[in-house]
Amino acid sequence: MRRRWRFLVCGPGPGAWHMALDEALAELCGQGASPPTLRTFVFEGRCLSLGRLQPASPLAQRAEALGIGTVRRPTGGGAVLHAGDICYAVVAPLDDPAVGGPLRRSYCQMALALVRALESLGVTSPRVCEATARAARAEACFASSSAFEVTAGGAKLVGSAQLRRRGALLQQGSLRTVADHALEVSLFGSSLGPSLAELLGRVPSLAEVAEALRRGFAEVLGLELEPGSLLPHEEALARARLAAAA
């Protein structure tokens, strides 16, 4: 029997709101007060998100000079320029049969679901990166690939990072849907490679990518993803976190 998860498709919103919401959902999931959830969303306007422990300077200063706001993610990894990408987040208990358990297994399971999603969009031969010797972390998330991230055509298409805390996991990821190469050069010093739209020859919509993600996670992980909405106590906690961070 397929396990049921909630599926959320969220429209554009400020970066700080999306981060507060993901943290709130993870906290409540760990308490048993929110269901396992796959959420898709986009950032409102251009925004730079920094990994949880990533130094802000001088990258945040360059972003400010370019008129780009900055937010810090609860998960780790390098900086992501949100300028047309489509993001996903997974919250689930640490003992969830589909994505819980050892960290490597969790990353691998979700990477395989992401590969299936890209295949359904028409991407040719997406693959999961294998573990390699640890190298110096690049400033930008999409400048290098780590184990269990997803590439195609020599390009990193999905960057992901996971946080585990108080009985729940939160995995956040970005699908490099479109790319502003000139802006990447100004911010990071170089372009970060082709985007999903460039590989497909078209720009997929949020609805199309969201459905591909839903299908990929359902097929690979054996889930029944039911469309849902935020619960009042979830939104209240997210707004409280947002206010506390202001």
The Cα–Cα gap between 110 and 104 comes to: 10
pLDDT of residue 77: 93
Q: What global pTM score does this model have?
A: 0.95
Distance, in Å, from the CA atom of 201 to the CA atom of 31, rounded to the nearest integer, reads: 44
Gap between the terminal Cα atoms of the chain? 44
Beta 155-165 vs 80-82: how paired, if at all?
unpaired
Average confidence score pLDDT of the chain: 94
Cα–Cα distance, 93 to 85 (Å, whole number): 27
pLDDT digits (tens, 9 = 90+) for 10-50: 989 999 999 999 999 999 999 999 999 999 999 999 999 99
Order of strands, sheet of 86-93, starting from the edge strand that comes earlier in the sequence: 127-128, 150-152, 155-165, 168-175, 86-93, 37-43, 3-13, 223-227
Please choose, from the candidates 245, 229, 171, 233, the residue with its C-alpha nearest in 3D space to the C-alpha of residue 24.
Answer: 233
Q: Is the pLDDT of residue 133 over 80?
A: no
CB count in 10 Å sphere of residue 143: 19
Residue range 65-74: average pLDDT?
Answer: 97
Q: Report all structural domains of the chain as residue ranges with CATH numbers, in order of start.
A: 3-241 (3.30.930.10)
The pLDDT tens digits for 99-118 are 999 999 999 999 999 999 99
Would you please indicate which residues are annotated as catalytic (active-site) residues?
141
List residues bridging with 89 in a β-sheet.
39, 172
Q: Phi and psi dihedrals of 183, rounded to 5? A: -70, -35
pLDDT tens digits, residue range 172-222?
999 999 999 999 999 999 999 899 999 999 999 999 999 999 999 999 999
